[in-house]
């Protein structure tokens, strides 16, 4: 187990994010702390999607014949599908699949919903659990067999331009989502051999975990008319003709939480961005026998005031050593700690500790400006976490001039290699075989230079990396 894997497993357990002891491989239990982070992450995404998507909820089970209808799609998933074969003791006439994703659950319904060009575009999303019998090594939140927070969007358009624009829009939405979580990413167009089964093309977000491996944290697929033809999804044009629709779909998973934990955390534990922290502020009263009641009363009032302003705040008045409390809240990643003792109350001061920098400060307790002061610190914590994460991400993107170079970087350094590529599939596969890692995809057009492998004119700047 790498140092990072060990850290990651330990922190999931110690911070009570998820319990990995559930007796099915790749399926885990969300514990209260983890569930709260999950909830806040979801509400951030819902806020973004609700602007122009409608939330829906489709059944978990997909009939075998529907799943099998789209040949390329089913081929891509056939080794990963869990099947239900019995209802009680009775064998089912038709096997039922646990959704590995919901195209084949949703798209048989779309012909019933889509009528006229005036109905389009339609944009739906759902947040569900999906099941994939992953054969690669499973890891909590990163490669699971039950994805418990599958956020999938599906859109329908009259023309290919509409679908193309929706792909761009989805990239914007996901970028904004990751930006608010301070997660750095690169967006690439996946190579042909690595696109979503059934898609015309796939755009993917990758981030970098501290062990130097990239993690695909989101994908946006342009489905063209492939599924429309299979499921006969048509609309009536203004001229009264029937045409097939164009579709896109995009999704995120539990990996978002894995990135929040893995990217921001340090040896003392989690460092949560305020936007998803279960508690954004924790108040620790400094208690001495004589003044205990007075300090507690003050802290309770303070807690109410902060709570009323809409911040998530906790007063830790347990009868424990302060050091033990500090350790615990640092490990759990609470962004801001306030320590308040009798002298502070007297002098109108408070002690603040920022989890991102671990800087302790004695600041003025400004009764009237308190909420504003706290919000400023929380905003600065979010900004700083994001900045640090991006700095580290960018430092770990290395350009390579030759194949040798690329291989050396992958072997001796961490991170992502950028290189010039002709874009040819056979050439790409040769590169992957030589370097022994995956090409993530291409992220910009090349204006000059030669392909790192075949020497032909380069068409793209491409990226490769060790991946999860
Ligand atoms: C779709 N259909 O399904 P996608 N554990 C954790 N996260 C995972 C796993 C896993 N085993 N497998 C994939 N992911 C499309 C789009 C509806 C929505 C994550 O796309 O198969 C990856 O981050 O690419 C991936 O980007 C995302 O789920 C969507 O899965």
Q: For 31-46, what is each residue's pLDDT tens digit? A: 999 999 999 999 999 9
Site residues for ligand 1, CB cut-off 6 Å = 101, 103, 132, 134, 143-144, 147, 152, 196, 216-219, 221, 249-255
Q: What number of other Cβ atoms are within 10 A of residue 363's Cβ?
A: 13
pLDDT at 362: 97
Question: Ligand 1 pocket check: which of 177, 251, 258, 261 to mutate, most ligand atoms within 8 Å of Cβ?
Answer: 251
Distance 196 CA to ligand 1 centre (A): 9
Measured from the CA of 219, which atom of ligand 1 is nearest? 26
Whose tokens are 């809240």? That residue is: 329
Q: What number of other Cβ atoms are within 10 A of residue 394's Cβ?
A: 13
pLDDT-based confidence at residue 68 (cuts at 50, 70, 90): very high
Residue 126 has pLDDT above 80, yes or no: yes
Distance 218 CA to ligand 1 centre (A): 7
Tell me what the mean pLDDT of segment 387-397 comes to.
98
Return the residue whose CA atom lies nearest to atom 27 of ligand 1.
252
Tell me what the mean pLDDT of segment 257-269 comes to.
98
Distance 116 CA to ligand 1 centre (A): 31
pLDDT tens, position by position, 318-375: 999 999 999 999 999 999 999 999 999 999 999 999 999 999 999 999 999 999 999 9
Measured from the CA of 216, which atom of ligand 1 is nearest? 23
Distance 26 CA to ligand 1 centre (A): 15
Question: Where does 3-264 sit in CATH, by number?
Answer: 3.30.930.10
pLDDT at 448: 84
Tell me what the mean pLDDT of segment 146-165 comes to.
98
pLDDT tens, position by position, 396-447: 999 999 999 999 999 998 899 999 999 999 999 999 999 999 999 998 887 7
Contacts of 128 (CB under 8 A, 6+ apart): 57, 58, 60, 99, 102, 150, 152
Q: What percent of the chain has a predicted confidence (pLDDT) above 70?
A: 100
* 415/400 Cα distance (integer angstroms): 12
Distance 299 CA to ligand 1 centre (A): 45
Whose tokens are 């949560």? That residue is: 272
Among 201, 167, 161, residue whose Cα is nearest residue 442:
201
Return the residue whose CA atom lies nearest to atom 19 of ligand 1.
253
Distance 252 CA to ligand 1 centre (A): 6
Residue 1 has pLDDT above 80, yes or no: no
pLDDT at 292: 94
DSSP character at residue 17 = S
Return the residue whose CA atom lies nearest to atom 20 of ligand 1.
251
Question: Ligand 1 pocket check: which of 75, 204, 255 to mutate, most ligand atoms within 8 Å of Cβ?
Answer: 255
Q: Which helix (H) or strand (E) holds 130?
A: strand 122-131
Measured from the CA of 202, which atom of ligand 1 is nearest? 24
- The first and second tokens of residue 315, run together, are 């007063």
Distance 415 CA to ligand 1 centre (A): 22
Contacts of 361 (CB under 8 A, 6+ apart): 351, 352, 353
* 308/332 Cα distance (integer angstroms): 23
Whose tokens are 């990963």? That residue is: 80
Residue length of the chain: 468
b/e burial code for range 315-330 (CB count within 10 A of at least 16 → b): bbbeeeeeeebbebbb
Average pLDDT, the chain: 97
pLDDT at 104: 97
Measured from the CA of 218, which atom of ligand 1 is nearest? 26
- The first and second tokens of residue 340, run together, are 């308040």
Residue 2 has pLDDT above 90, yes or no: no
pLDDT-based confidence at residue 290 (cuts at 50, 70, 90): very high
Return the residue whose CA atom lies nearest to atom 29 of ligand 1.
251
* 426/432 Cα distance (integer angstroms): 10
The Cα-based distances of 359 to 75, 353, 387 in angstroms read 54, 6, 17
Question: Where does 281-378 sit in CATH, by number?
Answer: 3.40.50.800
Return the residue whose CA atom lies nearest to atom 26 of ligand 1.
218
Distance 34 CA to ligand 1 centre (A): 20
pLDDT at 241: 97
Measured from the CA of 145, which atom of ligand 1 is nearest? 11
Tell me what the mean pLDDT of segment 97-109 comes to.
98
Question: Where does 398-465 sit in CATH, by number?
Answer: 3.30.110.30
Distance 255 CA to ligand 1 centre (A): 9
Strands (E) across 287-327 are located at 313-315
pLDDT tens, position by position, 196-208: 999 999 999 999 9
- The domains of the chain are located at 3-264, 281-378, 398-465
* 204/440 Cα distance (integer angstroms): 8
Tell me what the mean pLDDT of segment 15-27 comes to.
98
* 60/128 Cα distance (integer angstroms): 8
Return the residue whose CA atom lies nearest to atom 2 of ligand 1.
101
Return the residue whose CA atom lies nearest to atom 14 of ligand 1.
253
Among 89, 39, 3, 11, residue whose Cα is nearest residue 278:
39
Measured from the CA of 152, which atom of ligand 1 is nearest? 18
pLDDT at 359: 98
pLDDT at 446: 73
Q: What percent of the chain has a predicted confidence (pLDDT) above 90?
A: 97
pLDDT at 463: 97
């Amino acid at each position: 187990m790498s140092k990072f894997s060990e850290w990651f497993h330990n922190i999931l357990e110690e911070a009570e994010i998820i319990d990995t002891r559930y007796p099915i491989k790749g399926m885990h239990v969300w514990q209260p702390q983890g569930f709260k982070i999950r909830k806040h992450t979801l509400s951030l995404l819902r806020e973004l999607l609700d602007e122009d998507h409608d939330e829906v909820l489709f059944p978990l089970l997909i009939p075998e014949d529907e799943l099998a209808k789209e040949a390329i799609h089913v081929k891509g998933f056939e080794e990963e599908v869990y099947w239900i074969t019995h209802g009680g003791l009775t064998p089912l006439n038709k096997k039922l699949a646990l959704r590995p994703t919901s195209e084949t659950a949703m798209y048989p319904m779309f012909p019933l919903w889509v009528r006229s060009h005036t109905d389009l575009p339609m944009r739906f999303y759902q947040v569900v659990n999906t099941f994939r019998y992953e054969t690669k090594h499973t890891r909590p939140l990163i490669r699971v067999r039950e994805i418990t927070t599958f956020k999938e969007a599906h859109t329908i358009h009259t023309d290919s331009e509409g679908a193309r624009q929706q792909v761009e829009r989805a990239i914007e939405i996901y970028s904004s989502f990751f930006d608010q979580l301070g997660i750095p990413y690169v967006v690439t167009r996946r190579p042909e051999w690595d696109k979503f089964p059934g898609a015309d093309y796939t755009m993917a977000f990758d981030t970098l975990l501290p062990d130097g491996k990239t993690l695909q944290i989101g994908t946006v697929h342009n489905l063209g008319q492939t599924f429309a033809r299979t499921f006969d999804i048509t609309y009536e044009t203004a001229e009264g003709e029937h045409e097939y629709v164009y579709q896109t779909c995009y999704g995120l998973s539990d990996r978002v939480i894995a990135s929040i934990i893995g990217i921001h955390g340090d040896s003392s534990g989690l460092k949560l961005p305020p936007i998803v922290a279960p508690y954004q502020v924790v108040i620790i009263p400094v208690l001495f026998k004589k003044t205990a009641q007075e300090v507690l009363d003050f802290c309770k009032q303070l807690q109410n005031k902060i709570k009323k302003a809409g911040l998530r705040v906790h007063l830790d008045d347990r009868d424990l050593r302060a050091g033990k409390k500090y350790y615990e809240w640092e490990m759990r990643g609470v962004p801001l700690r306030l320590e308040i003792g009798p002298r502070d109350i007297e002098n109108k001061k408070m002690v603040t500790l920022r989890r991102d920098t671990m800087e302790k400060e004695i600041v003025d307790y400004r009764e009237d400006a308190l909420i504003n002061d706290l919000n400023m610190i929380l905003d600065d914590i979010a900004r700083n976490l994001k900045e640090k994460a991006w700095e580290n991400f960018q430092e770990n993107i290395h350009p390579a001039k030759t194949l040798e170079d690329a291989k050396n970087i992958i072997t001796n350094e961490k991170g992502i290699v950028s290189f010039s590529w002709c874009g040819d599939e056979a050439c790409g596969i040769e590169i992957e075989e030589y370097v022994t890692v995956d090409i993530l995809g291409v992220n910009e057009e090349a204006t000059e230079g030669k392909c790192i492998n075949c020497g032909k004119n380069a068409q793209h700047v491409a990226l490769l990396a060790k991946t999860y």
